[in-house]
Amino acid sequence: MTRTHIQLPDRLYQRAKTFAAQRELSLAEVTRRGLELFLDRYPSHEPPQGAWRLPCIDAGGIQIPLEALRGIAADEESGRSLAGQ
């Protein structure tokens, strides 16, 4: 294990000491766990290179012409209008 020296703002130090005492942990253990949590949350892998591309979704091969979709939408809209009267 490596020893290190860090500087903390007074308020952060007091909060960390209180947190550790309430859980019967050392400040070193709280610091180690905090760093592990932080590094797991923000992994250091490099972002993928290249241009972003819109993902393609396989819809199962169902193909409906645009005019048919417009007709379905119009029928649905008129059905809602009649139901609201």
Instruction: Give the pLDDT confidence of 21-77 residue by residue, as tens digits.
Output: 999 999 999 999 999 999 989 877 776 677 878 887 777 777 778 888 888 888 888
Return the pLDDT at 70.
87
Rounded CA separation 35/39 (Å): 6
Amino acid code (one letter) for 7: Q
Give the model's confidence band at 78: pLDDT under 50 very low, under 70 low, under 90 confident, else very high. confident
Return the pLDDT at 83.
64
Name the token pair of 46.
């490099």
Between 14 and 46, residue with greater pLDDT: 14
Checking if the pLDDT of 8 tops 90, the result is: yes
